[in-house]
Structure 1
Amino acid sequence: DAIRRTPVVMLTAKGDETDRIVGLELGADDYILKPFSPREVVARIKAILRRSRPGAQEPEPATLTYRELRMDVGRHEVRCQGRPVALTSKEFRILQALLSSSGRVLSREAILSKVWGEDTHVIDRTVDVHIAKLRRKIPSLVTAIETVKDVGYKLRES
């Protein structure tokens, strides 16, 4: 899945219209012909990376709610029944991913990617440990976070 989201820029001397069309139809995000300016190439790559970031299309809501749980993303605060809940950064981001997924199953790999990033070497069981900690800290999540066997987790619809 991460490979499919990787932007592709073709730098080539083949300038025929057919070559450009084939390159773009095969999945290239941009097709740059020789000779080119290195500064222009860098600017084009930065533009593509800005657009390809997860969540770049839709801004995250400032406040996420689920039953009696309220998450203020901007303030990095979680409240349950009006009381503050102390969460680590990773717990906060896992909960945010679950709240944002609105009932859809998130695989362990997807959670790892969202919370730890693509280039980390963390085993998927780490997600299980953090989910267990979330369930201990917020008792209403014990039944709200559903384990989907051999896949991952989802938040039951409220």
Structure 2
Amino acid sequence: MGYNYHYDIATSKAKVILKLLFRWRGSVWRAVYVEYLIWLTAYAILTFEKFAAFCDKRLAYIPMSFMLSFFVTVVINRWTTQFANLGMIDNIALFTSQLVKGNDDRGKNLRRNIVRYCVASQCLVFRDIHLGVRRRFPTLETMVAAGEFIQQEQL
């Protein structure tokens, strides 16, 4: 089945030519892609040994400790990013003590409950992340027994 390209080629700009080259309907790629994939696979299999020898020869130029330092840097950066993204309640507790005013019972209860809810939410998050916390608090009843929740707050 032929495809008429006359209208497309009427404007001979580089963008139009590239668009025609990568058009699927009636394209050259459609006619040869199976053979091309077979050739590409065979070529990769046959030249793999040369590529491995090339890499082995060039590996002597770059010390292993230099390459490992990049790997260690990536691992440490990932760990510090994860640690920085964990929610810590220290700042929340300090802001709460600073911003919630009052020395009466209402202010104290409000500050205590805000921080207690933050501790409980942090404990729930750490239960999903860390096995040690999961062993310490396997169920919500153990969190109630430890004082993280009161009985009425249990889900």
TM-score after normalising by structure 2: 0.32
More relative contact order, 1 or 2 (CA 8 Å, 6+ apart): 1
Structure index of larger Rg: 2
Greater share of residues in helix: 2
